[in-house]
Structure 1
Amino acid sequence: MPSAARPDAPQPDSAPSRPVRKVWQKWQRWRQPLLLGAALLSGLLLGSNPFRPTDQNPDATSRGYLKFKEILSYVDRDYVDTVDAEQLSDYAIKRMLEKLDPHSVYIPAKEQQQAAAFLQSDYDGIGVEFNMFRDTVTVVAPLSGGPAEQAGLQPGDRLLAIDGQSVSGQHLTTEQVFGRLRGPRGSTVRLLLLRRGQGRAMTFALTRNRIPNASVDVAAVLADGATGYIKISRFAAGTYDEFKEALGRLRREGMTKLVLDLRGNPGGYLDRATKIADEFIGGTRKIVYTDGKGDQYDTQTFSRAAGEFEEGPLVVIVDEGSASASEVLAGALQDQDRALVVGRRSFGKGLVQQPITLNDGSELRLTIARYYTPSGRSIQKPYRDGVAAYDRDLQERYARGEAFHADSVHFAPALRFRTAHGRTVYGGGGIMPDVFVPRDSTTQNRYLSRLQGTSLVREFALNLYQEHKDELTQLTFDQYQRTFDVSEVQLQALAARAAQGGLRADPYSLRRCAPALRNQLKALVARSAFGKDAYYAVLREQDGELKQALQTLQDANAKLALGETNGQ
């Protein structure tokens, strides 16, 4: 789903894990950029650092250490060119970890703050979403209640300077702008901006404050008045509290059945995911267990608390971007027959990482165990052929037709497992849904992918909002839903602008993807005019996976299966 960058919010990075980067680049190009996606495609076991030097093989460890130290010393002293010994060490460490598994990672000290920020529940900043349009920082939306909204920033405002330093036409990265907007709570940042219709630039002085960094993207009761919908983007520090608040509110609004959306959720803190599972699973039943070397990292997690929604139909949506802790949650609900899973096979990340803080502030996230669902399924997909082959897995799934045909997914007979009520489920990598939903083939073309890879769609939508701003302020969101449509003339104008930017015209592909493109533009305009909830409400209009999830909730057989589970 398209989303603007939040420069003063914690954001993930594109290094060091290539699998996550490829998922986002190929299938969710317009989502918020990831800064440390690799480090986050993991369920983290947190607590005091239990690692101490061991004597399992002290001679080999000492020889390896002395050899590396000796070679690095020779390179530093005698190599013909000046070298950065620390940079070489970081490189060697990363390559060494690649020989272990795809998810043991080393995060240098300078990147550690960004990696940790993604899992924080709030941050210090001004609360604004922006995009980079032709080297111009453009406000997409001020966040509700934040300093930017209180100061009067508006969608479409173009930032010219931050604290006297020009940011327009400077070829700055998102991260560089992000660094200038963030700062300690209570500090002041001065913005020089240009607003449409204003002849002169305007100056704003904003006092930075604490800004919530929500991980529950949306929580709403749908049109029937009984079906709740909750989308969780990651499992951060505050995710469980956000979820509890959202679930309680939806119950008070009359929700009796729920769709839980975990699409594109890369994981995060494992305990937040298991606590959410406990809200759905009654009694004392297994949620997940881990198996590591010896028994030091062997754990079992069971449901214990009286949950908020232990009864009532429940459907979970997953896709190839759902990983780690989100797979643990989906797998537990599936194995315990508490929910039916809809969508496509999930990513397949079932390795447990222990964060180990090193003396210089860098961090090692070392794989110490594997996750298993209650039925005994391993979530982790194979990686025996090396990191490069592992990285290609999602592309190969598409090449095999997995995204479009359920019968293209093959499992060995030995990978069959049974749920609590005896239904067949499969291991061997990822969570295979009970109800398969193919990707929308009309959106699978190079033209749309290249168009989505630019900022042009978001820029065009922002211009649409500004052109129709006076009309939009006279409408309620319901009126907007019924009456606002992106015309053929406007689509052609977007295509013409793309052609001017070097994207070769492709009328056939444009016609094919027109419904999806219209829906995206309408959602982005709604984001600027009515806020985030409106944005997601528009996207739901053409959401095939959600429509199937709603159908599954209505299906008599699904109701029967879930009803039997509720009686356990």
Structure 2
Amino acid sequence: MNPEKSKTPIHNSKSVVRLPMIIGITLAAGVLLGSTFFSGGKKLSDVAKGYAKYREVLMLVENNYVDSVNTDELVDFSIAKMLEKLDPHTAYFNTEEATAARSQLESGFDGIGVEFNIYNDTVYVVTPLSGGPSETVGIQSGDRIISVNKENLSGPGVTNAQVYKLLRGKRGTKVDLSIERVGLKERMNYAVVRDRIPTYSVDASYMVDQEVGYIKVSRFSETTFDEFKSALKTLKAEGLKNLILDLRGNPGGYMERATSMADEFIAGDKLLVYTEGKDTRFDRKTRSHIDGLFEQGPLIVLVDEGSASASEILAGALQDHDRALVVGRRSYGKGLVQMPIKLTDGSELRLTISRYYTPSGRSIQKPYELGKGEDYSLDLSHRYDSGELFNADSIKFDKSKVYKTDGGRIVYGGGGITPDIFVPKDTLLNSKYLFELYSKNIIREYALRYANENQKKLEKQTFKDFLQSFQISDAMLSDLVKDASRAGIKPNEKELNHSKSVITSQTKAIIGRYVWGRKQKNGLNNEVFQVLNPSDNVYTQAVQLFNQAAQLEKGKFSSLNIPKNKN
């Protein structure tokens, strides 16, 4: 994921859940409706009584408590504890945190490039930003950051501001992270070099062959729709007839960018999304209204457990209108809308004011209990443990929330977008040796050194020739293993052979991006995706499904190979 001049709300709550915070920028996986202050209410007398009681207690503590106290800290703490009784996404930022977030929006800064949650005083990686330094070294969604530069980051009182302070810094400086990962008993140590957080949200856009195009969108920021439209126009000029839109790992952002994108695919005057809250001022409906660039033609959308909020709005609209075949794994399930409200002292409240619904009436928000967020932030770990990421039969549907698409296909509400075609998470080639290479940045450093030393020779060919003919030789692999040994990673031939195809493809991708991709000014990482996608099991299955996507577009549902109880 990348840039973020986005003012989208941040989902967080101090001890329940802090949803996506981007290091170097504030990008929430939520939906921004606007910053409007509340007024009025039916129970003002009750609110006044509560305020009077709180003020009385605070004054008594300030004037009479035996020791000196920091009143500001008490107020911040009490507000945060109060909000814990609400939903997992309502959040409060004290003045320091709010100032840091706003400064990021204004100018950006250098960091390690991750989005994170804070839950139970532990920092969880939501997703590494695409093309950023954390993704490069192999940090993964769900990783727990235990310490930064040997300073503990896990324990009572860890704050958003503390995380910013430790992870931000001048580009080129190194950050040593201690990571815990699901499925591994031992902690992993990563050396991440800070860099400028990318400012693009369309990561890749290229023609797979003469008819099939691929576009990867990593978030919905201010420039996303313009980037997407430009990419789509270019692909159409190159002969685009079938499109794969990859929303995997996309945590959301501006709702309007997602609905504008949906409008490019959906013809006529159709509902795209609507919101409902207690106050009707925040109810709205968004409909398609323009002649889009790709209203006809087979369309496949890729989603996974990291696709949230605005990503789910887009995927849900396309699925409900039978416009796209959705492939992958069940999406995150974030359907609450936050409104950012700046308070008089510079602090900020992100208050949940409504829910969004797909055209068929589905609420995608996954279940939660007010004030009980224990399982909420750990949902992805639960999905891993339950087997849902590996077996479609492990997905639990709420049979009381059954809805139908325009064509009568059954879809379910109450927990993300379930794909039409399930593809399991591929972990078969993982090994501890591979994780160690990632953690000490061996693959990237070797690839960059090789590219530097052989750049003139490599540049004599086109990237297309490189893609088709270049192979990581045994001698190159041997040099990489020697680098790993010098870094303290013990050779393990069995695990090396097990993960060899991943290591070689990652090395080739980085070489390709460094030699050919770095000269581009449009933010696209086409070279990386062109190397890696052919070994991506979700992608490889998707490119075989355009016949089904074409049948779906024509309304011929009976010929689709889609399990009736899985869509």
Cα contact 1:357–1:364 (8 A) shared by 2: yes
Match in the other structure for 1:481:
467
1:252-271 matches, within 5 Å, as 252-271=237-256
Match in the other structure for 1:545:
538
**Counterpart Cα distance in 2 of 1:92 and 1:480:** 59
Match in the other structure for 1:147:
none
**Counterpart Cα distance in 2 of 1:77 and 1:500:** 62
**Counterpart Cα distance in 2 of 1:216 and 1:45:** 23
Match in the other structure for 1:41:
29
1:442-461 matches, within 5 Å, as 442-449=428-435, 451-461=437-447
- Residue 383 of structure 1 deviates from its aligned partner by 1.1
What letter is aligned with 2:407?
A: H
- Residue 103 of structure 1 deviates from its aligned partner by 1.0
Cα contact 2:277–2:355 (8 A) shared by 1: yes
Cα contact 1:12–1:114 (8 A) shared by 2: no
1:294-342: per-residue Cα shift (whole Å, max 9, x none)? 4232222111111111111111000110000100000000000000101
1:176-214: per-residue Cα shift (whole Å, max 9, x none)? 21599xxxxxxxxxxxxxxxxxxxxxxxxxxxxx99922
**Counterpart Cα distance in 2 of 1:293 and 1:324:** 20
What letter is aligned with 1:534?
A: E
Structure-2 change in CA distance of 1:457 and 1:81 (3 Å): farther
1:464-485: per-residue Cα shift (whole Å, max 9, x none)? 3223333323332122223333
**Counterpart Cα distance in 2 of 1:514 and 1:272:** 40
1:177 to 151, 158, 170: 170
* Partner SS for 1:364: strand
* Partner SS for 1:316: strand
Match in the other structure for 2:563:
none
**Counterpart Cα distance in 2 of 1:179 and 1:493:** 25
* Partner SS for 2:468: helix
Structure-2 change in CA distance of 1:82 and 1:110 (3 Å): same
* Partner SS for 2:317: helix
- Residue 21 of structure 1 deviates from its aligned partner by 9.5
Cα contact 1:14–1:33 (8 A) shared by 2: no
Can you give the 5+ residue segments of structure 1 that lack an aligned partner in the other structure? 25-31, 132-140, 143-171, 181-209
Match in the other structure for 1:369:
354
What letter is aligned with 1:100?
A: L
What letter is aligned with 1:221?
A: M
Give the number of equivalent residue pairs.
478
Match in the other structure for 1:185:
none
Q: Does 1:561 align with 2:546?
A: no
What letter is aligned with 1:320?
A: E
* Partner SS for 1:250: helix
- Residue 395 of structure 1 deviates from its aligned partner by 0.5
Q: Does 1:103 align with 2:89?
A: yes
Q: Does 1:323 align with 2:316?
A: no
* Partner SS for 2:269: coil
* Partner SS for 2:354: strand
**Counterpart Cα distance in 2 of 1:45 and 1:447:** 46
Structure-2 change in CA distance of 1:23 and 1:237 (3 Å): closer
1:533 to 510, 526, 537: 526
Structure-2 change in CA distance of 1:534 and 1:307 (3 Å): same
1:333-352 matches, within 5 Å, as 333-352=318-337
User: Greater helix share, 1 or 2?
Assistant: 1
Match in the other structure for 1:51:
38
What letter is aligned with 2:170?
A: V
* Partner SS for 2:376: helix
Structure-2 change in CA distance of 1:362 and 1:338 (3 Å): same
1:417-436 matches, within 5 Å, as 417-436=403-422
Match in the other structure for 1:413:
399
1:29-85: per-residue Cα shift (whole Å, max 9, x none)? xxx964567x60211112x51422x34222332333334444444555566666543
Q: Does 1:403 align with 2:396?
A: no
What letter is aligned with 2:32?
A: L
1:267-306 matches, within 5 Å, as 267-306=252-291
Match in the other structure for 1:220:
206
**Counterpart Cα distance in 2 of 1:178 and 1:304:** 44
1:144-223 matches, within 5 Å, as 175-177=168-170, 213-222=199-208
Q: Does 1:239 align with 2:235?
A: no
**Counterpart Cα distance in 1 of 2:172 and 2:12:** 20
What letter is aligned with 1:51?
A: F
1:517-561: per-residue Cα shift (whole Å, max 9, x none)? 2212221222211113222222223222112221111x2x33122
2:499 to 510, 513, 518: 513
Structure-2 change in CA distance of 1:502 and 1:23 (3 Å): farther
* Partner SS for 2:507: helix
- Determine which structure has greater relative contact order: mean sequence separation of CA pairs < 8 Å that are 6+ residues apart, divided by chain length: 2
2:366 to 364, 381, 385: 381
1:276-295: per-residue Cα shift (whole Å, max 9, x none)? 11111111111111121142
Cα contact 2:273–2:359 (8 A) shared by 1: yes
Structure-2 change in CA distance of 1:82 and 1:539 (3 Å): farther
Q: Does 1:89 align with 2:80?
A: no
**Counterpart Cα distance in 1 of 2:285 and 2:29:** 21
Output the TM-score relative to the length of structure 1.
Answer: 0.74
**Counterpart Cα distance in 2 of 1:331 and 1:113:** 35
Cα contact 1:16–1:36 (8 A) shared by 2: no
What letter is aligned with 2:387?
A: G
What letter is aligned with 2:247?
A: L
* Partner SS for 1:391: coil
**Counterpart Cα distance in 2 of 1:540 and 1:282:** 30
- Residue 350 of structure 1 deviates from its aligned partner by 0.5
1:373-405: per-residue Cα shift (whole Å, max 9, x none)? 111111100112722210111101011111111
**Counterpart Cα distance in 2 of 1:22 and 1:538:** 34
Cα contact 1:416–1:425 (8 A) shared by 2: yes
Cα contact 2:6–2:254 (8 A) shared by 1: no
Identical aligned pairs, as a percentage?
44
**Counterpart Cα distance in 2 of 1:311 and 1:265:** 25
Q: Does 1:391 align with 2:384?
A: no
- Residue 503 of structure 1 deviates from its aligned partner by 5.2
- Residue 16 of structure 1 deviates from its aligned partner by 4.4
* Partner SS for 2:424: coil
What letter is aligned with 2:38?
A: F
Structure-2 change in CA distance of 1:94 and 1:392 (3 Å): same
* Partner SS for 1:41: coil
**Counterpart Cα distance in 1 of 2:260 and 2:100:** 25
1:75-107: per-residue Cα shift (whole Å, max 9, x none)? 555666665433443333233223211111223
Match in the other structure for 1:353:
338
Structure-2 change in CA distance of 1:522 and 1:370 (3 Å): same
1:229 to 214, 238, 243: 214
Can you give the 5+ residue segments of structure 2 that lack an aligned partner in the other structure? 114-130, 133-164, 174-195, 518-524, 558-567
* Partner SS for 2:545: helix
Cα contact 2:13–2:90 (8 A) shared by 1: no
